[in-house]
Amino acid sequence: MAVDDSTADTNMFLILGTLRGFNTSMVALRNGNWRGHPPPPLGHDPQEKVLGILGMGGIGRNLKKKAEAFGMKVIYHNRKKLSPELANGAPYVTFDELLAQSDVLSLNLPLNKHTRHIISTKEFEKMKKGIVIVNTARGAIIDEAALVKALDNGRVRSCGLDVYEDEPRIHPGLVANPHVMLLPHMGTWSVEVRQWFIPTRILNLSHNLAVKLRCSQRDRHKQKWKIGISAMSRRFWKEED
């Protein structure tokens, strides 16, 4: 599916950028300072790093394939353990194990009352020091104020974000931190997704219209049936009288 591909591509871009720490030198370069003065810390290659995927739906599984192509080891946590076919070799771990074992944590789960701020202060404390976090799902999955503190105290080394708690506003602590890669919600901003989306949208609208028409016809049929029964009942009681 085009949406899964495009979002997972964006996810992988942010993983590579945050692992390597490219953002600091990208900013320095535009300011005429080459890599920066002093130069930034050396980054990390993705090979052999543990990628923890929180939410192993279509996008999470798509990301798994891409990450493995870069030599990453993938583990996951999901609301329900996947079948062996869908997991495709990725070990299922508990939520706490995911936090403790991941070098990179990718958030790929929907936002609801159970997942809002699922990553906050106590979760950061369970993570490896220097973890990298990427979020292309929904902004409010992370407590942004807690994330800023975790970045400032070094618990989180860097993060890559495409979504935010209060879009289009972004927490000023994230904007000010050069170790944070920021995208303005561009996970599906591609020609291919739009080409896929338009006919799919039309097909869905056509399906919904057809369902409504069938329901309307069924309701009219029921109404006629009720009117007929009512008329028969009136005739019956009139004859009895």
**169 and 86, same structural domain?**
yes
CATH number for position 23:
3.40.50.720
| Tens-place pLDDT, residues 168-207 | 999 999 999 999 999 999 999 999 888 877 765 665 665 5
**Mean confidence (pLDDT) of the chain:** 89
Is 169 a residue of the active site? no
Same domain, 142 and 52: yes
User: Which of 174, 189, 204 lies at the terminal end of a domain, its last residue?
Assistant: 189
234: pLDDT strictly greater than 70: no
48 among known catalytic residues: no
Pair 168, 212 in one domain: no
pLDDT one-digit tens code per residue, 129-146: 999 999 999 999 999 999
- What the block records as the tokens of 162 is 């495409």
**Total domains present in the chain:** 2
Catalytic residue status for 167: yes
The DSSP string of 137-161 is S-GGGB-HHHHHHHHHTTSEEEEEE
Range of the domain at 161: 2-189
pLDDT band at 239 (very low <50, low <70, confident <90, very high): very low
The closest alpha carbon to 51, from 75, 16, 20, belongs to: 75
**Active-site choice (44, 61, 77, 138):** 138
Q: What order of strands is seen across the sheet that includes strand 180-182?
A: 73-77, 50-54, 104-107, 131-135, 156-161, 180-182
